[in-house]
Amino acid sequence: MKEVYILQNQNSEYLSRQGEWLDGSDSSSLFYTPHKDVAINTRVEQTIKDPTLRVQLVESQLDEKSNPTIQVQTAELELEAG
C-alpha cells in the first residue's frame, strides 16, 4: 500500500479537497498527498487563513480504491454513578 499524508485539525476533522473540514466518513473527498512537503505547505496555508487552527499531519495508507484509510475516532463518555 502507498503511504500518503492527510491533515487533521484539533476537532478531529479532516481537510477535504475543497478546503473544508469534514468528519472523515467519506474518505474519497479528503485531501491527501504522497509528498510531506506539500502537506506541510497546505497546513501552513490553512493556519494562515485561520490562526486558531491546530493542524497535524497524519500518515495514512491508500485502500484498493486509492482513498486514504482513516480511523474515525468516536468519543466515549464516562458516566459516573451517584
* pLDDT beyond 50 at 80: no
For 3-12, write each residue's pLDDT tens digit: 999 999 999 9
Q: pTM of the entire structure?
A: 0.81
73 vs 19, more confident:
19
What gap in Å lies between CA 64 and CA 24, rounded to an integer? 17
What gap in Å lies between CA 10 and CA 1, rounded to an integer? 27
Averaged pLDDT for residues 38-54: 96
Q: Which ranges constitute the DSSP H helices of the chain? A: 36-49
Counting residues of the chain whose pLDDT is more than 70, the rounded percentage is 84
* pLDDT beyond 50 at 74: no
Closest CA to 5 of 44, 45, 53, 57: 57
